[in-house]
Chains A and B, each alone.
Chain A
Amino acid sequence: MRTEGVRGVVADAALVAGKDLRLERRSKVGLSQVLPFALLVILLFAFALDPDRRVLGAATPGLYWMVVLFSAVLAVQRSFGVEGEDDVLDALRLSGLSAPGIFLGKVAALMVQLLALEFVLAIAVAVFYGTEISGILLLVGVTTTATVGIAAAGGTYGGLVARIRGRDTLLPLLLLPLLAPVLISATRGTEVALGRDAGPGWPWVGLLGIFGAVYLTLGALLFRPLLEDA
């Protein structure tokens, strides 16, 4: 019975993730809006901080993750905006798909989009800010665990605000303070990976992993009440 339950959840998640990714492939909003936005902010930071001064180079890890966070807010809005407009959220609720399955599916789709974005941004930052990439293993560890946490928290709050009219201003207010430790940990871990900081980098990955695990679990548990009542 239990294995069936888990398998059911995974199947539902795959279904929802597939739907979201197919939707993205067709509409290309992530490609045509979120990614350009991210690249734009990279550009604007260069204007604001002046590439000739060392500030831009020194601040690169922090700026990178800030751009990821802002882009994630947009991605979450998009992920649940699609639902809210035609009340697809309610249709999902009544579809018989398990709530944790829907949640994990959305999180998985968000993760795929975010990881793709982060990869392109890393290249952009290497090119435009002249960042030398090193410590690849640690970077992959940091990026993966951070993205799990961002997607999980985003998926939860996205569901929470999906039916609220003011959700465009509310979502960043709710999500970003929660993601503060992710920003801190990801930035510090990245700094270690790039050789700018001496300290151990893997503890940050550990903390990011804990954040991700906690919010994946909590989000999955909360998604049914949120889907039904929020």
Chain B
Amino acid sequence: MTTTTTQAASDRRVAPTSTSSTATRVLGISSVVGLALLVIFGVFVSPPDAELGQTIRILYMHVPTVSVAYLAFLITAVGSAMYLWKRTEFWDLLAASAAEIGVVFFGLTILNGMLWGKITWGVFWRWEPRLTTTAVLLLTYLGYLAVRAIPADPRTRATRSAAIGLLAVVNIPIVHKAVDWWRGLHQERTIFGTTKPEIQGTQAFAAYLGLAVFLLLFAWLLIHRFRVAFLAERAAESGLGAAIAERRQEASESSATAVSHSEGDR
């Protein structure tokens, strides 16, 4: 039993006009501040590395993006498993949101890796273990997003995606091992060099700062993306009538092509 004032207050609370909230504002502002600090320390203050030279500055971007990507796919895996167990929308949307962000950051990881390679090796691509593995995993998760984009009822889409989320994540260590053995035979210089760089002082600070800032950024992105996914489901529910009409049309088109396909198969 609520009084009219509490009712109005809770209405205001549940009726925001965007996906923002106090939590995201805090995360957002700290991310921006952190990024500014990162630019100062990563680009200007910290000295070039003894072994890697100026290219260490690219690693200040590369390492955080790959860390966020792996964390994102871990969340997708957990979300996928939990969805198959609990069958609640929350886990499905969490998995999907994390996967999309993961793909973005995997893409950025490859971009930064290629730029690092251009400086260090003179070419944009080498089949060194880390880049190769990232490329394979990127393609794997693009497949996840492709399946996600197929129109289907929520439970069907969620089940398919969850299966892929799990099948993809268990492949990660196997791909790593296979690629490391394979490219390791050729003594490829990995992105971290043949020895781990001795980073000190401001370099270490910039590296850890980068990691922390990108994690904040990831949290911010995930919350917003999750809310967008949630809203999309609610909007789709109310648009169900239109969707049914659309599918009826698709069905009559596909049965026409199915007839011609089956005639071709014989």
**B185 on the interface (CB 8 Å rule)?**
yes
User: Which residue of B162, B170, B254 contacts A165 across the interface (Cβ within 8 Å)?
Assistant: B254
Say whether B174 contacts A207, CB under 8 Å. Answer: yes
A226 CB to closest chain B CB (Å) equals: 6
B257 nearest in chain A by CB position = A165
A133 CB to closest chain B CB (Å) equals: 23
B248 CB to closest chain A CB (Å) equals: 15
User: Which residue of A160, A181, A226 contacts B174 across the interface (Cβ within 8 Å)?
Assistant: A181
**B112 on the interface (CB 8 Å rule)?**
no
For the complex of A and B, 4 pairs with smallest distance between CB atoms? A181-B178, A229-B159, A177-B139, A177-B140
> A174 CA to B174 CA in the complex, in Å?
16
User: Which residue of A180, A203, A215, A225 contacts B181 across the interface (Cβ within 8 Å)?
Assistant: A203
B219 CB to closest chain A CB (Å) equals: 28
Within residues 138 to 197 of chain B, which ones have a CB less than 8 A from any CB in chain A? 139-140, 142-143, 146-147, 150, 155-156, 159-160, 162-164, 166-168, 170-171, 174-175, 177-179, 181-182, 185
> A122 CA to B110 CA in the complex, in Å?
37
Interface residues of A (CB under 8 A from B): 85, 153, 156-157, 160, 164-166, 170, 173-174, 177-178, 180-181, 184-185, 188, 199, 203-204, 207, 210-211, 214-215, 218, 222, 225-226, 228-230
Given contacts A165-B254, A222-B166, A226-B159, contact A174 B143 (CB under 8 A): yes
Question: Which residues on the A side are within 8 Å of B163 (C-beta)?
Answer: 156, 160, 222, 225-226, 230
Question: Which residues on the B side are within 8 Å of A211 (C-beta)?
Answer: 174
A198 CB to closest chain B CB (Å) equals: 10
What is the number of contacts between chain A and chain B, taking CB atoms within 8 Å?
Answer: 86
Say whether B164 contacts A184, CB under 8 Å. Answer: no
Given contacts A229-B159, A230-B159, contact A218 B174 (CB under 8 A): no
> A203 CA to B185 CA in the complex, in Å?
13
> A214 CA to B171 CA in the complex, in Å?
9
Say whether B262 contacts A180, CB under 8 Å. Answer: no
B251 nearest in chain A by CB position = A165
Say whether B164 contacts A207, CB under 8 Å. Answer: no
**B84 on the interface (CB 8 Å rule)?**
yes
> A218 CA to B170 CA in the complex, in Å?
9
Say whether A218 contacts B166, CB under 8 Å. Answer: yes
Given contacts A177-B139, A199-B185, A230-B156, contact A156 B167 (CB under 8 A): yes
Say whether A188 contacts B182, CB under 8 Å. Answer: yes
A178 nearest in chain B by CB position = B171
Say whether B185 contacts A160, CB under 8 Å. Answer: no
Say whether B178 contacts A207, CB under 8 Å. Answer: yes
**B104 on the interface (CB 8 Å rule)?**
no
Question: Which residues on the B side are within 8 Å of A214 (C-beta)?
Answer: 170, 174
Say whether B160 contacts A177, CB under 8 Å. Answer: no
